[in-house]
A and B are shown apart, each in its own frame.
Chain A
Amino acid sequence: MAETLSTCLRESARTPTAFTGVYEAMASELLAFLLRRTFDVEVARDLTAETFARAFEHRGRFRGDTDAEASAWLYGIARNLLARYARDGVTERRAVERLGIRVPAVSEDDHQRIVELAGLADMRATVADLFSSLPSDQRDALRLRVIDERDYGEVAATLGVSEDAARARVSRALRRIADVVDMPIPSEVTR
């Protein structure tokens, strides 16, 4: 089978319009990937736009012959942006701004389609199941910290444990869920 993605990506270094082939091949897949890890359509949109903007800017750096390598290269960019988002809670837009890309709005219809594309309903059910299956001490700690948005001092006081123990319970619970659904843990939860 022709390595269309890698070919388009390599050629876009000399012929920028070949990059549209890269976008066509990967856009919906990356959007779904990012949405499944952020649960926020607007954030996923911004990260998708920035991923492709950076890929376009750095397309000359891609070295690979296969579609798998090209895909991994794009996912690497997306994961870096995702990690930054998880760490700082901000979506990078620097490449988008440098290139002057107008990031389109998300319509109501699109919102529904994107959620379906990412299979978010299934994922929510999975997370709910995982949450229910957590040991009760971890589940209670996670509910207080994430759903009720209490700080760790309050979580510790409510559960009658030290703050360190409360952090550990929340951390273990999040790790357990994250391992299954492959999602980053936002830093504001673990801080």
Chain B
Amino acid sequence: MSDRIQLLDDLGAELGRVAAEAERPLARRGPRRRFARAGHRARVAAVGVGVVLLLAGGAYSVPIARSAFDGVFASLGGWVSGTGGDAPGREVRPEDGLRHWWLDGEGEARLIAEAEGVGLYVRRSDAPGGPWLEFGLGDDVSVSMGARLEDWSEFLGRDGIVLLGPAMLGRGNQLDDRGRYPLLGLTLPEIKRLEFRYAEGRPLRGRTGDGGFVLLVDAWRPPLELIGYDSDGHIVERLDVTDRDMSYVCAKEPGDCPR
């Protein structure tokens, strides 16, 4: 008889769902045309977040369709499912300073994007129901989001740029001393450069990592648009980010924002 107590797993998944719902106002500020999928995305995220720390259930295998590797998964899908493809990014190192509850997890973890010490990490492992994919966000992974690969694929859709969300800076800080917060996400492999445009002032420009990105965005400037370019400078994707205004955080962490 297994030692796992299903009741605790189920209750944990419920709390994970509630926690993800509570986080949704922050994570759901996508463009209006994507709202139809938001409910489903939140549900998948809830299940993922709840289950990532509480792996449970019976073991069975689900074949992964090649179509699951479209969109932002084009650079991750083969590696995650073990059906081919090079491991993205670089291996995780002790000096990355990740929290042990994430670092000690099963499977293989990689750093796929980084900016000024803030990383976007990804881990693949085998789990009941198929390959498991988990994203760790932040400079020491303060938030972890996990789900089966096929659920992620459905959750993330076929958009060229997918925002995973803002992350914490260290333990307890949301902004750095310049009033910036880390914004993390996934991109199509052909997107090599990103431009985050504000309603006013100079845009923020950055390069993508291996299928993902980390941008340190000014919380105090109204956001406008995130644009992804290929290596020739052609626009691949545009994402409306006007409803991702994080200026309210400046009020919570006074002194960090220049105004």
Real binding pair: yes
Q: Which positions in A face B, CB cutoff 8 Å?
A: 2, 4, 7, 10-12, 14-21, 23-24, 27-28, 31, 45, 48-49, 52-53, 56, 99-107, 109-110, 112-114, 117
Question: Are B22 and A2 interface neighbours, CB within 8 A?
Answer: no
Question: Are B15 and A20 interface neighbours, CB within 8 A?
Answer: yes
Pairs A–B under 8 Å by Cβ, sample size 28: A2-B100, A10-B171, A11-B142, A11-B171, A15-B143, A16-B19, A16-B22, A18-B19, A20-B15, A20-B52, A20-B53, A21-B53, A24-B54, A27-B12, A28-B5, A31-B5, A31-B8, A45-B7, A45-B11, A49-B11, A52-B11, A52-B15, A99-B18, A101-B15, A103-B11, A104-B6, A110-B5, A113-B3
Question: Are A109 and B1 interface neighbours, CB within 8 A?
Answer: yes
Considering the complex, give the chain A residue whose CB is closest to the CB of B166.
Answer: A15
Question: Are A19 and B172 interface neighbours, CB within 8 A?
Answer: no
Q: Which of B50-95 contact A (CB under 8 A)?
A: 50, 52-54
B96 at the interface (CB under 8 A from A): no
Question: Are B15 and A110 interface neighbours, CB within 8 A?
Answer: no
B16 at the interface (CB under 8 A from A): yes
Considering the complex, give the chain A residue whose CB is closest to the CB of B137.
Answer: A15
Return chain A residues, CB-CB under 8 Å to B172: 10-11
Expressed in whole angstroms, the minimum distance between the Cβ of A2 and any Cβ of chain B is: 6
Tell me which of B5, B19, B144, B171 contacts A117 (CB under 8 A): B5
Main secondary structure of the interface of A (DSSP, over half): helix
Return chain B residues, CB-CB under 8 Å to A31: 5, 8
Question: Are B1 and A14 interface neighbours, CB within 8 A?
Answer: no
Return chain B residues, CB-CB under 8 Å to A2: 99-100
Tell me which of A18, A19, A23, A107 contacts B6 (CB under 8 A): A107
Question: Are B14 and A4 interface neighbours, CB within 8 A?
Answer: no
Expressed in whole angstroms, the minimum distance between the Cβ of B195 and any Cβ of chain A is: 27
Question: Are B101 and A19 interface neighbours, CB within 8 A?
Answer: no
Q: Which positions in B face A, CB cutoff 8 Å?
A: 1, 3-8, 10-12, 14-16, 18-20, 22-23, 49-50, 52-54, 99-101, 142-145, 168, 171-172, 174
Question: Are B101 and A4 interface neighbours, CB within 8 A?
Answer: yes
Most buried by B among A48, A53, A99, A114: A99
Tell me which of A56, A101, A107 contacts B7 (CB under 8 A): A107
Whether A16 contacts B5 in the complex (CB less than 8 A), given A11-B171, A23-B12, A56-B15, comes out as no
Query: Roughly how many angstroms separate A159 CA and B53 CA in the complex, as a whole number?
Result: 56
Whether A104 contacts B23 in the complex (CB less than 8 A), given A11-B142, A18-B142, A113-B1, comes out as no
Query: Roughly how many angstroms separate A24 CA and B7 CA in the complex, as a whole number?
Result: 13
Question: Are B14 and A101 interface neighbours, CB within 8 A?
Answer: yes
Query: Roughly how many angstroms separate A178 CA and B144 CA in the complex, as a whole number?
Result: 42
Expressed in whole angstroms, the minimum distance between the Cβ of B167 and any Cβ of chain A is: 8
Question: Are B15 and A104 interface neighbours, CB within 8 A?
Answer: no
Most buried by B among A16, A28, A107: A16
Considering the complex, give the chain A residue whose CB is closest to the CB of B54.
Answer: A24
Expressed in whole angstroms, the minimum distance between the Cβ of B155 and any Cβ of chain A is: 15
Tell me which of B3, B7, B15, B142 contacts A19 (CB under 8 A): B15
Considering the complex, give the chain B residue whose CB is closest to the CB of A25.
Answer: B101
Return chain A residues, CB-CB under 8 Å to B168: 11, 14-15
